[in-house]
């Protein structure tokens, strides 16, 4: 049933005119109703109650009691509202206490409030209302209008220590304006929504509903359970339902409540317009649209259009007068105002108008053959001539005859009726053959949700896509994730806490600059939104290769174009005919405009005259031309050559296994041993991007091979592709896995065992600090990485609700003392395992006192016995007391410029190639570095220097969790950014590893503009919030990436709500960048491999056995292990040898010469600098700095290497005993040991013949 809103005054439908404003009757002014079904409570604050305190519940048939104003005063009641004065939570400010248990047992709810927020509330934490109690450590249901500190208007719920926030994409709230704010939760769909003024602004999934808020003993308006200040503003109405209302019902409530302050609401926009009666002597008048809230109508569109385009009377004609009317409709209330505009006659001749039009006509400098040149604009006509092998057809289609890039010129003759002569412009162009060109799309997206890795921070960045056929759909790059993100509007303050300066962009467009590099123009927006930040300007960035980008900091890339009414869809092109840049756009009313720049560099670039009218474009996209791009918003295209497209595909495309390179067919003589087959221990894999990798071969089957009989046989094998459990470990964040050589004594004998260690932060239910009352440091040790994992379905290997897992050892618990005698009370965050100066060491953040932010970096080391043997690391007593790490003078690491002390955490350790040791860690919200002496881990030896700051929307306010590996002479430092949650991402900074570079100089580090790893689909399932990773190494020498993310609901697991540990192998792309998300099917196309064995007689006329075996040995080698010069010579010798081997007519001399030449080339190979044979630990600073990714052992072929590298290059292959008797006997299994593992070889006996 419905009931009439008791809160509304009687209205009439009579228009009222005052102060030049007409209040228009609308359908919303008819008597309306609000929903009654499910209405639990309804409170009106329009009139002061008799006692100034008790506000009755006017919901019919409800037993819920009255609300009570706290700290009441008669002065609080005015303007049909109660004033909420804000101030400290326990101060004297006013707030409202609501009855207890309002939504007890309710699985769904709607809470609606008519409110006006003080401007301070849009940048401060607060609860607009709260259903819960007075403690932030329990449960609550709330809404907030905060737009600061990485927040936007939201509805949130906390249950089981997990707070879930459903935020709007932008700051949809406005201060000092009456708003209808409504939050809903639907328990049946596990969804929450937020509405402002009847429009949905946020939607998302939530794990809980109001029934999970068990303690509803302090429900409030304006007071939070946290120590936030009380809400400051005013409230007129509040309604609470135990059902989720529909969008239509919510809109109806918004319209009803708008009548309470109808004059103020209806006129707010019109009164705020900066517009007046005026005289115009221009081709345009700016009509403010207030983001679409205002529409304009003209009394004579032949003179002024509704968009503001002015058609001036011709030179010498009379002036004209036009009435422009602005109209706005807010929450069903309409208001309008009229203005008188006098339009002056034009003072431009026809020739001047033609010159203006010619200014806007530009042919881009790079074109694809077959492209139609831009059409004529602004009432002109255009014709073309071309030279230097370029032709233009009558319909304006440009083409070249050959298959090579062609440079030449195109002349456009632009004419206009009434002009004495045309304007000619000659453009220098490069034309790409269609067969060697691709179309590059640059675009942004409409934001959807964080669950699709397409929240506003990601969607509003520049994305890229490619297609090589006009009719084909685009292939998105980087999984349709952003590639260029703009810098924040200011640089982060040095040695101070980071600030949310982040910005986003919309409407990106790529152009060729005058020097052939790339420019990117866009509109910079407020973070995570499409609301312009610098609304009358463009943002310029540049790139040499579209792989990395440069933007001048501190908003120096914001360039004024002379607009006053907003810039949208900017388009720029270099005008080679005039040697300047044309920049065009549409304003907020959709009017096209353009101007010119002699130079397009930075904020100091000066624009020319702003002209109204069309400008020539190519490649402007819309939804119809953006096939293959989901959630496309706006963008444009340019042609690029195949080399550029290939580089983009390598960096941002998907790579797949294309084959195995080291399994050539082989020829052996009859009665040879099986060792002659040279069975590799590894499969050397090739990929579509030109990269390589390797995986161990688990077993070889030679049962079909009879080495006693001439013939051709097949040897088959199985590649080992370890698959790790998903998740690997529940409720374990910031994980570290370490491959460790444990030197100790067993039964009085010195032994060395390879062990795998795992340590992580206990993130039980996401309560990473207090850990449900049981803060502790969990530790695991096993003989393999797989054995470290949880055991789904078995309680003995699963975490319990208190955060303990039976398979773990607890090294520290709350109350443990550090070396200064201070008690560590919480956190134990981000523990990492390293070996420092020969000692197994754990670096972590210890938490002190009762505040989560009171923490600092400490270390503890494993004790050793008198003989230097390591004790058992699983025993807590075998570890030294944790020791704080300080500056050299003993002061705190995180000492800020103002003398305050912040947190220091997430510390890691690494060395350069000359053995200089470093710590890197997070403090003040950024990543800092300093040198250190391994003999004294308790101090740094240089001043902390910031090397990575959070500068983008994807890593806003945080750059933490650094971890380093070395590869090919470079240091790769991964770090994580954005708030802890589903938006967490991984960035990458790269520096020279040689030791000849000062790594404490921030300029020595090159930081990617986009994340190297982010939320995405892996092996068919979403993994969200990926980050805080660590480089490590598996049993087979492959580099692995250990990180945390949010797992999906998984059978056999506890499925609590904290972050979980994951393990993946790392692939290194052809351009030297790591790939963390290669699917299993992409990594290995087939686990089955094989090759042919040609058994020949002893008296064969041409003996190719030695050549085939040398070729086989050569194919085990990898280019990445050797210098480019020696590898080039070797490759030529290998190719020649393979040609001879395949030549049935080759003589014995040719065969022998080819074998000798190949052997000599192998012997001449020189290992590249930084290559190692030590196996390493994947970048933990002690042995892993030489790790080579998928071939971390450095062997390149699976064999043990001793002595110089030359012998290893030729002979380092796995083999069996070389005696012929190995072939005798029954069918058997033989095990051969290689440097990277154990390979099973199945043999079959063949009878002697």
Q: Which residue has the higher pLDDT, 980 or 27?
A: 980
Share of the chain above pLDDT 70, in %: 91
Q: Of 388-392, 1115-1119, 1217-1221, which range is least confident?
A: 1217-1221
Mean pLDDT on 861-887: 97
Residues 6+ apart with CB under 8 A from 747: none
Task: Please give the pLDDT value at position 116.
Answer: 97
Query: Taking the C-alpha atoms of 1136, 1139, 1140 and 1142 in order, what is their torsion angle to the nearest 10 degrees?
Result: 160
CB burial of residue 1085 (10 Å; 0-12, 13-18, 19+): middle
pLDDT at 13: 30
Distance separating alpha carbons of residues 201 and 193, to the nearest angstrom: 8
Half-sphere exposure of 274 (CA within 13 A, CB side): 4
pLDDT, position 32 = 53
- Residue 16's pLDDT is 33
Cα 579 to Cα 569: distance, rounded to the nearest angstrom: 23
- Give the tens place of pLDDT for each residue, 1030-1055: 999 999 999 999 999 998 888 999 99
Number of neighbours of residue 1002 by Cβ within 10 angstroms: 17
216 neighbors 204 (Cβ within 8 angstroms): no
Residue 172: per-residue pLDDT: 87
Res 1169: pLDDT: 66
* Mean local confidence (pLDDT), 855-869: 96
SS3 assignment, position 846: strand
Q: What is the mean pLDDT of the chain?
A: 89
CA distance 567 to 561: 9
Between 712 and 171, residue with greater pLDDT? 712
On whether the CB atoms of residues 321 and 341 are closer than 8 A, the answer is: yes
Half-sphere CA count of 1151, side-chain side, radius 13 A? 18
Report which DSSP code applies to 1124.
H
The CATH code for residues 732-1083 is 2.115.10.20
Model pLDDT, residue 205: 85
pLDDT of residue 1001: 98
pLDDT in tens, 314-336: 888 999 999 999 999 989 899 99
Highest mean pLDDT among 526-540, 878-892, 1183-1197 belongs to 878-892
Picking from 513, 522, 520, the residue whose alpha carbon sits closest to that of residue 585 is 522
- 1-20: pLDDT as tens digits: 333 333 333 222 323 333 33
pLDDT of residue 135: 77
35-268, which class in CATH?
Answer: mainly beta
Nearest to 117 by CA among 55, 46, 173: 173
State the pLDDT confidence band at 1241, using cuts at 50, 70 and 90: low
What are the helix (H) ranges across 27-130?
Answer: none
Which pLDDT does position 210 carry in this prediction? 96
Mean pLDDT, residues 1167-1174 taken together:
56
Q: With helix as H, strand as E and coil as C, how does 565-626 read?
A: CCCEEEEEEEECCCCEEEEEEECCCCCEEEEEECCCCCCCCCECCCEECCCCCCCECCHHHC
Higher pLDDT, 386 or 15: 386
Superfamily for the 659-721+1086-1117+1123-1166+1196-1243 domain: Immunoglobulins (2.60.40.10)
Spatial distance between the Cα atoms of 119 and 567, rounded to a whole number of angstroms: 27
**How far apart are the two ends of the chain, measured CA to CA in Å?**
98
- pLDDT at residue 138, as a whole number: 76
Mean pLDDT of 446-450: 91
Distance CA 716, CA 1233 (A): 18
Query: Distance between CA atoms of 1017 and 1033, rounded to whole angstroms?
Result: 23
- Decide if 985 contacts 976 (C-beta within 8 A): yes
For residue 1204, name the pLDDT band (cuts at 50, 70, 90): very low
Q: pLDDT tens, 991-1019?
A: 999 999 999 999 999 999 999 999 999 99
Cα 1161 to Cα 440: distance, rounded to the nearest angstrom: 43
Give me the pLDDT at residue 1124, please.
86
Q: What is the pLDDT of residues 728-747, one digit of tens each?
A: 999 999 999 999 999 999 98
Does the structure show a pLDDT above 80 at 984? yes
| Measured CA distances, 236 to 258, 360, 419, 631 (Å) | 10, 54, 65, 39
Residue 480 clears pLDDT 80, i.e. is over it: yes
> 798-812, pLDDT tens digit by residue?
999 999 999 999 999
Binning pLDDT at 50, 70 and 90, where does residue 223 land? very high
Q: For residues 1246 and 387, which has the higher predicted lDDT (pLDDT)? A: 387
- For residue 40, give the nearest of 128, 121, 131 by alpha carbon: 131
Share of the chain above pLDDT 90, in %: 79
- Please give the Cα distance from 414 to 416 (Å, whole number): 7
CA distances in angstroms from 753 to 739, 745, 782, 957, listed in the order given: 10, 10, 11, 43
What 3 state SS string does 321-381 have? EEEEEEEEEECCEEEEEEEEEEECCCCCCHHHHHHHHHHCCCCCCEEECCCECCCCCCCCE
Token readout for 202 is 């946020």
999: nearest Cα among 917, 1074, 1066, 1065? 917
In which residue are the tokens 């240089």 written?
942
Q: What are phi and psi of 1235, to 5 degrees?
A: -65, -15
Supply the pLDDT for residue 1.
31
Three-state DSSP at 396 gives: coil
Q: CB-hemisphere CA count at 13 Å for 863?
A: 13
Select the more confidently predicted residue: 29 or 842: 842
Please state, in angstroms and rounded to a whole number, the distance separating the CA atoms of residues 731 and 740.
Answer: 24
Could you give phi then psi for residue 1036, rounded to 5 degrees?
Answer: -100, 10
């Amino acid at each position: 049933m419905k009931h009439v809103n008791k809160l509304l005054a009687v209205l009439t439908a009579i228009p009222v005119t005052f102060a030049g404003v007409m209040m228009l009757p609308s359908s919303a002014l008819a008597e309306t109703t609000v929903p009654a079904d499910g209405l639990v409570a309804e409170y009106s604050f329009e009139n002061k109650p008799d006692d100034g305190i008790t506000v009755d519940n006017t919901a019919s048939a409800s037993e819920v009691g009255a609300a009570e104003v706290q700290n009441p005063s008669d002065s609080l009641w005015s303007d049909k509202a109660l004033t909420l004065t804000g101030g400290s939570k326990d101060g004297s400010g006013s707030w409202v206490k609501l009855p207890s248990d309002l939504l007890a047992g309710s699985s769904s709810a709607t809470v609606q409030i008519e409110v006006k927020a003080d401007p301070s509330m849009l940048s401060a934490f607060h609860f607009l209302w709260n259903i819960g109690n007075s403690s932030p450590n329990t449960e609550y249901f709330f809404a907030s209008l905060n737009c600061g500190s990485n927040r936007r208007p939201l509805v949130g719920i906390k249950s089981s220590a997990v707070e879930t926030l459903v935020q709007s994409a932008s700051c949809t709230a406005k201060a000092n304006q009456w708003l209808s704010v409504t939050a809903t939760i639907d328990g049946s769909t596990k969804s929450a929504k937020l509405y402002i003024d009847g429009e949905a602004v946020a939607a998302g999934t939530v794990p809980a509903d109001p029934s999970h808020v068990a303690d509803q003993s302090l429900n409030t308006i304006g007071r939070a359970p946290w120590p936030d200040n009380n809400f400051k503003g005013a409230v007129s109405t509040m309604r609470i339902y135990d059902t989720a209302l529909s969008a239509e019902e919510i809109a109806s409530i918004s319209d009803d409540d708008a009548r309470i302050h109808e004059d103020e609401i209806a006129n707010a926009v019109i009164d705020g317009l900066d517009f007046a009666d005026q005289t115009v002597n221009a081709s345009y008048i700016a009509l403010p649209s207030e983001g679409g809230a205002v529409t304009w109508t003209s009394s004579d569109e032949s003179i002024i259009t509704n968009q503001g385009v002015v058609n001036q009377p011709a030179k010498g004609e009379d002036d004209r007068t036009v009435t422009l009317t602005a109209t706005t409709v807010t929450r069903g209330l309409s208001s309008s105002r009229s203005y008188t505009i006098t339009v002056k006659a034009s003072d431009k001749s026809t020739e001047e108008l033609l010159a203006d039009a010619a200014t806007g006509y530009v042919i881009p400098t790079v074109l694809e053959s077959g492209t139609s040149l831009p059409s004529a604009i602004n009432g002109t006509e255009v014709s073309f001539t071309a030279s230097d092998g370029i032709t233009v057809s009558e319909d304006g289609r440009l083409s070249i005859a050959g298959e090579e890039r062609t440079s030449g010129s195109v002349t456009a003759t632009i004419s206009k009726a009434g002009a004495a002569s045309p304007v000619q412009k000659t453009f220098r162009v490069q034309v790409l053959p269609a067969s060697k060109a691709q179309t590059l799309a640059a675009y942004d997206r409409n934001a959807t949700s964080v669950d699709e890795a397409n929240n506003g921070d990601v969607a509003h960045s520049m994305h890229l896509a490619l297609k090589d056929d006009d009719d084909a759909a685009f292939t998105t790059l980087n999984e349709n994730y952003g590639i260029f993100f703009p810098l924040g509007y200011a640089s982060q303050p040095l040695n101070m806490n980071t600030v949310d300066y982040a910005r986003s962009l919309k409407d990106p467009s790529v152009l060729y600059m005058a020097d052939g590099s790339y420019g990117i123009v866009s509109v910079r927006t407020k973070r995570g939104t499409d609301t312009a930040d610098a609304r009358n300007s463009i943002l310029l960035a540049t790139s040499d290769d579209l792989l990395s980008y440069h933007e001048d900091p501190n908003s120096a890339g914001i360039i004024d174009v002379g607009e006053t009414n907003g810039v949208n869809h900017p388009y720029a092109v270099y005008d080679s005919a005039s040697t300047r840049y044309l920049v065009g756009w549409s304003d907020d009313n959709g009017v096209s405009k353009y101007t010119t720049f002699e130079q397009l560099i930075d904020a100091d670039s000066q624009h020319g005259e702003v002209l109204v009218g069309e400008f020539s474009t190519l490649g402007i996209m819309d939804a119809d031309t953006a096939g293959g791009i989901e959630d496309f918003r706006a963008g444009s295209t340019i042609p690029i050559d195949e080399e550029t497209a290939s580089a983009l595909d390598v960096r941002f495309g998907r790579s797949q296994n294309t084959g195995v390179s080291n399994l050539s067919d082989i020829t052996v003589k009859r009665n040879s041993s099986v060792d002659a087959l040279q069975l590799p221990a590894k499969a050397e894999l090739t990929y579509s991007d030109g990269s390589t990798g390797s995986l161990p071969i688990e077993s070889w089957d030679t049962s079909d091979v009879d080495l006693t009989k001439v013939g051709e046989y097949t040897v088959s094998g199985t590649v080992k592709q370890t698959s790790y459990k998903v998740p690997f470990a529940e409720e374990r964040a910031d994980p570290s896995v370490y491959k460790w050589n444990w030197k100790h004594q067993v039964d009085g004998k010195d032994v060395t065992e390879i062990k795998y260690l795992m340590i992580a932060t206990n993130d039980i239910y996401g309560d990473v600090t207090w850990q449900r009352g049981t803060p502790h440091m969990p530790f695991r040790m096993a003989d393999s990485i797989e054995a470290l994992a949880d055991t789904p379905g078995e309680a003995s290997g699963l975490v319990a609700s208190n955060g303990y897992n039976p398979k773990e050892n607890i090294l520290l618990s709350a109350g443990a003392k550090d070396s200064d005698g201070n008690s560590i009370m919480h956190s134990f965050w981000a523990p990492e395992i390293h070996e420092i100066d020969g000692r197994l060491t754990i670096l972590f953040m210890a938490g002190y006192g009762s505040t989560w932010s009171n923490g600092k970096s400490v270390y503890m080391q494993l004790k050793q016995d008198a003989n230097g043997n390591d004790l058992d690391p699983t025993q807590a007593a075998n570890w030294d007391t944790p020791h704080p790490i300080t500056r050299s003078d003993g002061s705190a690491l995180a000492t800020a410029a103002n003398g305050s002390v912040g947190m220091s955490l997430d510390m890691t350790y690494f060395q350069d190639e000359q053995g200089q040791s470093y710590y890197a860690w997070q403090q003040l919200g950024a990543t800092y570095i300093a040198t250190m002496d391994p003999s004294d881990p308790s101090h740094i030896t240089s001043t902390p220097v910031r090397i990575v700051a959070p500068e983008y929307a994807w890593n806003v306010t945080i750059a933490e969790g650094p971890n380093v590996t070395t590869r090919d002479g470079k240091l790769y430092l991964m770090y994580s950014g954005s708030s802890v949650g589903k938006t967490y991402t991984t960035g990458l900074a790269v520096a020279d590893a040689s030791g000849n570079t000062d790594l404490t100089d921030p300029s020595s580090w090159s930081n990617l503009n986009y994340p190297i790893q982010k939320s995405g689909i892996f092996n068919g399932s979403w993994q969200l919030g990926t980050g805080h990773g660590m480089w490590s190494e598996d049993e087979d020498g492959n580099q692995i990436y250990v990180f945390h993310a949010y797992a999906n609901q998984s059978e056999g697991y506890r499925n609590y709500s904290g972050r979980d540990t994951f393990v993946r192998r790392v692939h290194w792309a052809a351009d030297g960048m790591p790939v963390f998300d290669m699917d299993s099917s992409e990594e290995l196309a087939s686990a089955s491999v094989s090759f042919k064995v040609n058994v020949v007689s002893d008296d064969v006329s041409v003996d190719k056995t030695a050549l085939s075996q040398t070729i086989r040995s050569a194919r085990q080698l990898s280019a990445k292990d050797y210098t480019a010069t020696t590898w080039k010579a070797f490759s030529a010798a290998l190719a020649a040898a393979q040609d001879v081997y395949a030549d049935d007519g080759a003589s014995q001399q040719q065969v022998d010469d080819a074998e000798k030449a190949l052997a000599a080339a192998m012997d001449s190979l020189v290992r590249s600098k930084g290559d190692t044979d030590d196996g390493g630990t994947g970048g933990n600073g002690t042995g892993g700095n030489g790790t080579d990714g998928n071939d971390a052992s450095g062997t390149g072929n699976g064999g043990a290497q001793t002595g110089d590298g030359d012998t290893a290059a030729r002979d380092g292959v796995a083999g069996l005993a070389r005696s012929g008797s190995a072939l005798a006997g029954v069918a058997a299994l033989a095990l051969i040991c290689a440097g990277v593992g154990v390979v099973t070889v199945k043999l079959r006996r063949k009878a002697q013949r």
